[in-house]
């Protein structure tokens, strides 16, 4: 009876993943060649050789969390064990969630910056002699600060609707909270006859001060985030150093009961430590 070892199984799984990747690249290349032939696209077929590399670069740019799978396959091949494969598959949704949270935070901050620019642009157009509705329409189209509520806000401004109410509705978007201040300025200007440009100037100054405070706090916490990054990299550096010294740490961790126990306990402690350190740093980032 033939006995299949764990190392052979891991090598077979890694080879299967590599073969599937090559097949997908070849299929994509064949479809690109057919599309060029049928549609008579310029460029011919001379530039088709980097299709597979470009495909992987597109995947890395659009969905970098899927890079966990080839990394896990490489570790499985080096360690001769199939255990890194399910670990890599489990890491994909975790990494995707972290990247999605980072992307949402950047979009929120970008929308906040556009709201600040909107306040300054409306104030400038008002001083240039434009009517409030015209100034808001021009500034909104220039900055894109109203997001999905732009049509509703501009319709209210153009046809005499309730602009403050529309602005408050637009302020419910994540990162567009400053529009609530613009709605208050607009309401005061309509009801009390106060200068809208002056109120928007004060609002812009307040929002820029908040942004400056946020950037200053983030700069002060850069050292703490660097410490968290070092804590995350240290285990990998230790494994690399052990492999360089000839200790074969992957074989010990993946093929011995003591190594498996150390891997489980160490992985749990590492994850808990990173979560706790990141939580402390994020609590310091809150205004």
Convert the pLDDT of each residue in 66-125 to its tens digit.
Answer: 888 888 888 888 888 888 888 888 888 888 898 898 899 899 989 999 999 999 999 999
Is residue 230 scored above 70 in pLDDT?
yes
Is residue 167 scored above 70 in pLDDT?
yes
246: in domain: yes
pLDDT at residue 95 in the model: 87
pLDDT at residue 245 in the model: 87
149: in domain: yes
Residues 193 and 141 in one domain: yes
Residues 196 and 143 in one domain: yes
24: in domain: yes
1: in domain: no
pLDDT at residue 155 in the model: 92
Domain of residue 281 covers 221-287
pLDDT band, residue 214 (cuts 50/70/90):
confident
Chain-wide mean pLDDT for the chain? 79
Q: When comparing pLDDT for 192 and 212, which is higher?
A: 212
Residues 69 and 114 in one domain: no
Residues 17 and 72 in one domain: yes
The single residue listed with the structure tokens 């150093």 is 241
pLDDT at residue 114 in the model: 93
Is residue 31 scored above 90 in pLDDT?
no
152: in domain: yes
Average pLDDT of 40-45?
A: 42
The DSSP letter of residue 256 is S
Euclidean distance between CA atoms 185 and 203, whole angstroms: 8
% of the chain residues with pLDDT over 70: 76
Residues 228 and 198 in one domain: no
DSSP H helices in 63-148: 68-79, 84-127, 132-143
Residues 202 and 230 in one domain: no
Euclidean distance between CA atoms 169 and 26, whole angstroms: 50
Residues 156 and 66 in one domain: no
Residues 16 and 76 in one domain: yes
The structure tokens listed for 268 are 């749990």
Euclidean distance between CA atoms 171 and 236, whole angstroms: 44
Euclidean distance between CA atoms 163 and 153, whole angstroms: 6
The structure tokens listed for 54 are 């470009």
What total number of domains does the chain contain?
3
229: in domain: yes
Model's pTM, two decimal places? 0.68
176: in domain: yes
pLDDT band, residue 33 (cuts 50/70/90):
low
């Amino acid at each position: 009876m033939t006995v299949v070892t764990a190392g052979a199984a891991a090598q077979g799984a890694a080879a299967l993943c590599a073969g599937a990747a090559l097949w997908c690249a070849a299929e994509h290349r064949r479809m690109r060649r057919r599309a060029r032939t049928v549609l008579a696209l310029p460029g011919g077929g001379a530039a088709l050789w980097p299709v597979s590399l470009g495909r992987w670069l597109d995947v890395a740019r659009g969905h970098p969390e899927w890079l966990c799978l080839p990394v896990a396959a490489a570790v499985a091949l080096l360690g001769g064990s199939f255990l890194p494969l399910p670990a890599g598959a489990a890491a994909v949704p975790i990494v995707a969630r972290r990247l999605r949270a980072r992307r949402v935070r950047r979009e929120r901050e970008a929308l906040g910056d556009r709201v600040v620019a909107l306040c300054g642009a409306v104030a400038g157009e008002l001083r240039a002699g434009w009517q409030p509705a015209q100034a808001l329409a021009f500034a909104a189209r220039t900055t894109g600060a109203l997001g999905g509520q732009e049509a509703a806000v501009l319709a209210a401004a153009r046809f005499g609707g309730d602009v403050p109410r529309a602005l408050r509705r637009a302020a419910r978007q994540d990162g567009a909270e400053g529009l609530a201040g613009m709605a208050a300025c607009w309401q005061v200007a309509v009801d009390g006859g106060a200068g809208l440009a002056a109120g928007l100037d004060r609002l812009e100054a307040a929002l820029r001060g908040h942004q400056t405070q946020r950037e200053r706090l983030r700069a002060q916490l850069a050292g703490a985030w660097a410490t968290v990054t070092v804590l995350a990299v240290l285990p990998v550096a230790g494994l690399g150093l052990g492999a360089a010294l000839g200790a074969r740490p992957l074989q010990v961790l993946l093929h011995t009961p003591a190594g498996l126990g150390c891997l489980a306990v160490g992985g749990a402690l590492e994850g808990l430590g990173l979560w706790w350190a990141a939580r402390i740093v994020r609590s310091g980032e809150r205004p």
